Amino acid sequence: MTLRGRLTAAFLAVVLGPVLLGAIFIAATVAAIDRGRATERLAVAAGAVRTSVDALCQQLRAAADAVALADDPARAAGQVVSRGLAAAVLVTDPTGRAVHATPDPPPAPWRDCAAAGRTGEPVGALTVRVELRDTAGTALGGVVVAQPVDPAFVARLAAVTGVAVTLLDPAGTPARVAHTTEATGAREAVLAAAGTLRGERVTETDDGRYVRLAGPVEGQPLPLVLSVPSGQPPGLHATLVTLVLLAALAAVAVAWRLARVTTRPLVELAAAVDRVAGGDLTPRVPVRTHDEIGRLAGAFNRMTRETGSYVAALTSSRDQLRGHLAVLGDTLASTHDLQRILRVILHSAIAATGARAGAVLLTDDAGTLVARCTEGLDDRPTPDGPVRVPLGSGVVGVVATTGQPRRGRVEASSVPVGEPTCRTYIAVPFAAPGDDPAGRGGEPGGPADPEPTGRRPDVAPDGCGGGALGVLALYDRLGADEFDDDDLVTLRTFAGHAAVAVDNVRMHEEAQRLSLTDPLTGLWNYRYLRESLRREVERASRFGRMLSVLALDLDRFKQVNDSYGHAAGDAVLAEFARRVRGEIREVDLAFRQGGEEFVVLLPETDARGAATVAERLGAAVRGTPVPVEGHADARLAVPITVSIGIAVYPDHATTGGQVLEAADEALYAAKAGGRDTWRVAAVSAAPPTREIPLPTGAHSPDDGLPRAGGTPTTGGASSGPHPPRQSRGR
């Protein structure tokens, strides 16, 4: 974030913070006041409901007493109903049987005014019961007076309390509305809120109404719900949000203006600094004030003027340094690209000495100097093309053998065989740091390629050895008769660079080789196994070939370590690896997966060929016990056997990991089959299919092993005819 953005954000935080807090405080205060008023109003309404129900119950009790004391209860009951003191009167005998009942009684069930607590029945009417007794106190029956609880009754309660009243029907689960004065749209919300209430708590519905229970309790047996609408001003929250947004817009405008005015000098200074960083020393910053920023602008202007004078003084030497820096940059950028490094070194040496042509020659395994990099040599001194000079022959051959630089003139009739035609020459030997310049060495290869080319990963792919590496030779100095001592010193410097470059490449390649091989057995390690398996599967898939994977495990190898020691175990592993290398082709790859577990990849090989290799490996291992040198028993020879599992891509799996797992499962089967044997992986439930051209009359051999393109089976089991493909026999 820029400084202007930070200042704007800080101003907005200072201004909008109190505004937002004030809006929240106002909203919270209004909500609290509204809730307090609603709670108080509902409490008054609950008291009014209880008073009204109690008055009704007292009226019913007075009516029941009047009927009970009358000489003619039936006549008194009719008078009570006709005067509206009750809706129905029921006179019963001591057994509870109705003796007299007024017509049109309210619907059942009736609820006694003296009842308390909740029940699972709806309330159809409120009743009061009075016992009839004679002067001796003998029970003569009872008088029950009832008043219906209907919508009119609920409406009267709502009129008395000034709030909406809802009578619940508790018979259902959940409770339902029996009668209510609520609006149709608010009934469901009030009913849902009532289901969460306990005691005298007040809750708020989603549509802004406050709800409270008013029974049933002692003296008020009706399950009533009271509700009032919220008294908050309509649109209060929208008004507050609008005010906050307007304040935010105003604050943003003011903050942006203040930040722009404050940061303008800094923006100008930053722009000038960017131009100076880009190489332009002409920008100047306007000094508008005399504060800290103004003094900074003045100091910047003085600095650019002084820097411009220094740059002008250095410009004269820049062109001379540019060439040297370019050579150094190219060399550093080509740390492991030997051909590019040698080309840069040779070109720089030719430019520094003024030579017409030159060559960098490196020794190979045959004891011959081979030109790895040349410049200016238009003719081909040998039929094969590049310059090739045997060690000890000619000028460069003698220089490489003796380790002594040489310079001089050559007559046209006495040019050594195999060397370029020239009039003058200069040649300097070079060797790896710490090596003997007169020693023998191998020809260093190009950039390291971790892909194995044979079955001996313990030999470096480039074949580099110690001793002299090669010769740097220049021919025909332009503008002078011969090369002088200064040229010799210069060429020694470039030859030293060449030696370091070659040694760095050699060490880089050796480090790569060690990172991919097992130090005990010399085989490739598990890290290279994963890479090679992926590469070989891709290659087999691309060219429509097969790939066999052999999983090998030495039988009872733990007993070897326990009986003869770990040194004997290491000797057994090394000898086993040597025998494996002796039984596979150059294109095959052998790996040590870990411990006594090994893996062999057989490109372009089907299950039959893999089984042949497995038979040969098993015979090579069991045929000769492994002698252990350095053991107390000088004649100790450890007998070993190997179990082998075979899997073929794509018959047993479609990925490298899956085919290796299939080989492991086949190895377990070989172990379970008695060890010292091999097994082919079982066919999966849905093997991959592909179209293969079928020659007329093609059929698989009777041994049941799948050929290239056929369906694999476990070792020794017949699988019927299979479409054969061309495979390399084993």
- Which of 505, 335, 331, 502 minimizes the C-alpha distance to 430? 502
Distance CA 119, CA 217 (A): 11
Distance CA 300, CA 311 (A): 16
Distance CA 708, CA 605 (A): 7
Query: Please, what sign has the CA dihedral across residues 556, 559, 560, 561?
Result: positive
- Which of 576, 591, 596 minimizes the C-alpha distance to 660? 591
Distance CA 470, CA 387 (A): 13
Question: Do the Cβ atoms of 426 and 407 come closer than 8 Å?
Answer: yes
Question: Do the Cβ atoms of 204 and 153 come closer than 8 Å?
Answer: no
Residue 713 confidence (pLDDT): 37
Distance CA 594, CA 420 (A): 54
Token pair listed for 74: 């039936």
Distance CA 90, CA 88 (A): 7
Residue 633 confidence (pLDDT): 64
Place of tokens 């709502």: 158
Catalogue the E-assigned strands of 164-221: 164-169, 176-180, 202-204, 209-213
Residue 667 confidence (pLDDT): 95
Question: Do the Cβ atoms of 166 and 177 come closer than 8 Å?
Answer: yes
- Single pTM value for the model: 0.39
Cis peptide bond prior to 461, omega within 30° of 0: no
Low-confidence ranges of the chain (pLDDT < 70): 1, 3-4, 116-120, 171-173, 313-336, 378-385, 412-418, 432-468, 480, 630-634, 684-730
* Secondary structure (DSSP) of 453-483: -SS-TTS-TT---SSEEEEEEEEEETTSSS-
* Secondary structure (DSSP) of 312-334: HHHHHHHHHHHHHHHHHHHHHHT
Q: Which long-range contacts (CB under 8 A, 24 or more apart) does 273-278 make?
A: 273/300, 276/304, 276/307
- Which of 694, 650, 247, 427 minimizes the C-alpha distance to 419? 427
Largest pairwise CA distance in the chain: 169
Q: What is the pLDDT of residues 523-549, one digit of tens each?
A: 999 889 999 999 999 999 999 999 999
Residue 541 confidence (pLDDT): 93
Question: Do the Cβ atoms of 111 and 125 come closer than 8 Å?
Answer: yes
Token pair listed for 106: 């309210």
CA triplet 491, 493, 498: central angle to 5 degrees?
90
Residue 679 confidence (pLDDT): 95
Question: Do the Cβ atoms of 555 and 642 come closer than 8 Å?
Answer: yes
Residue 657 confidence (pLDDT): 92
Residue 466 confidence (pLDDT): 40
- Report which DSSP code applies to 4: H
Residue 362 is which amino acid? L
Distance CA 488, CA 482 (A): 11
Question: Do the Cβ atoms of 73 and 91 come closer than 8 Å?
Answer: yes
Residue 536 confidence (pLDDT): 94
SS (H, E, C) 485-541: HHHHHHHHHHHHHHHHHHHHHHHHHHHHHHHHECCCCCCECHHHHHHHHHHHHHHHH
Q: What is the pLDDT of residues 180-221, one digit of tens each?
A: 888 877 777 777 777 777 777 888 887 778 888 887 877 778
Residue 574 confidence (pLDDT): 93
Query: Domains in the chain, ordered, with CATH?
Result: 33-229 (no CATH), 338-514 (3.30.450.40), 526-680 (3.30.70.270)
CA triplet 531, 534, 538: central angle to 5 degrees?
140
Residue 720 confidence (pLDDT): 33
Residue 117 confidence (pLDDT): 63
SS (H, E, C) 275-302: HHHCCCCCCCCCCCCCCHHHHHHHHHHH
Residue 692 confidence (pLDDT): 40
362 forms beta bridges with 370, 470
Q: With H, G, I as helix, E, B as strand and everything else as coil, classify residue 92.
A: strand
Residue 576 confidence (pLDDT): 94
Backbone angles phi, psi at 438, to 5 degrees: -90, 0
